[in-house]
Amino acid sequence: MLRLRFEQEYSCKEIAEELDRTGFGVAVNLHRALRKLRKLMTTPGGYTMKKRKKMNMDQILRKYWPSASHEEVESAGERVWNRLEAELEKHDTSLRSLYGDGWSAAPLEQTEFQVLTAVSLLGDRGTLKSITKMVDKWTGREMVGHVYLTLGRLAERELLTVHTGPATADDEPPRRYEITEDGDRALRRAKVEGKELVTAREDLDGPCAEGSRLK
């Protein structure tokens, strides 16, 4: 019975079926046999089995896993870092972040993308009139009202700056728009996301005042 249990690794149930006994009877007999065997092994002149000391995982690793020297650890760390740098150079990670939605740049809606692109392309010539002309060309429709409102939103989000010229007697002071560093990052994100300047159909919500004066 001991050989079936410990050499063949039979369960008590399997031993009971093999010997035509009950599982409970097999368990009792095994317990008695082990107790008798232990007694025989601790008699004078006999061999006493030593109880194996239990070790946790940390102790096992320290005992059996070879530990690397400080120089080997430093060398391995440098190799891993070099591989990471080589891989990162293949991708533009400047717009990525570990926080929020994963981006370190602001998102842009379609009209905001078109207006901010026009501001970027025009440089120091970015007025409401010149920006609107460029956006009109991309959308195929008059956009002055939408451009005016969008410029205001982008300025509030600090994606562009507004420079006001000297006022005249009969006219409002002219305004010039320039893209900021955050605005440039937002444009780069929009391009990575696949936004296009020219679309088949522009989705514009709500009425806008097309009678705004051009500067």
Residues 83-102 have pLDDT tens digits of: 888 887 776 667 776 556 67
Residue 174 makes CB contacts below 8 A (sequence gap 6+) with 127, 164, 165, 215
Distance CA(108)–CA(90), nearest Å, equals: 25
pLDDT of residue 206: 41
Question: What are 69's two structure tokens?
Answer: 């020297």
Report which of residues 26 and 1 the model is more confident about.
26
What is the tens place of the pLDDT at every residue in 2-54?
666 666 677 878 877 777 788 788 788 877 877 776 676 665 555 555 556 67
Q: Are 40 and 65 in contact (CB under 8 A)?
A: no
Confidence (pLDDT) at 203: 47
Task: Find the angle CA(91)-CA(111)-CA(186) to the nearest 5 degrees.
Answer: 30
Query: Looking at the domain assignment, is residue 10 inside a domain?
Result: yes
Comparing 58 with 25, which gets the higher pLDDT?
A: 25
Kindly report which listed range (63-77, 108-122, 198-212) carries the lowest average pLDDT score: 198-212
Q: 141: domain CATH number? A: 1.10.10.10
- Please tell me the distance from the alpha carbon of residue 80 to that of residue 4, in angstroms, as a whole number: 51
Residue 31 lies in a domain: yes
Residue 47 lies in a domain: no
CB atoms within 10 A of CB 95: 16
- Judge contact between 68 and 76, C-beta under 8 A: yes
Mean pLDDT taken over the chain: 78
Confidence category of residue 204, pLDDT binned at 50, 70, 90: very low
Does a structural domain hold residue 50?
A: no
Q: Indicate whether 32 belongs to any domain.
A: yes
Residue 102 lies in a domain: no
Q: What is the pTM of this model?
A: 0.51
CA dist., res. 149 & res. 23, Å (int): 85
User: Does any domain span residue 79?
Assistant: no
Cβ pair 192, 95 in contact under 8 A: yes
Examine residue 62 and state whether it is found in any structural domain, yes or no: no
Give the structural domain span for 11.
2-41
pLDDT exceeds 80 at position 65? no
Looking at this protein, which amino acid is placed at residue 203? D
pLDDT of residue 136: 93
Q: What is the number of domains present in the chain?
A: 2
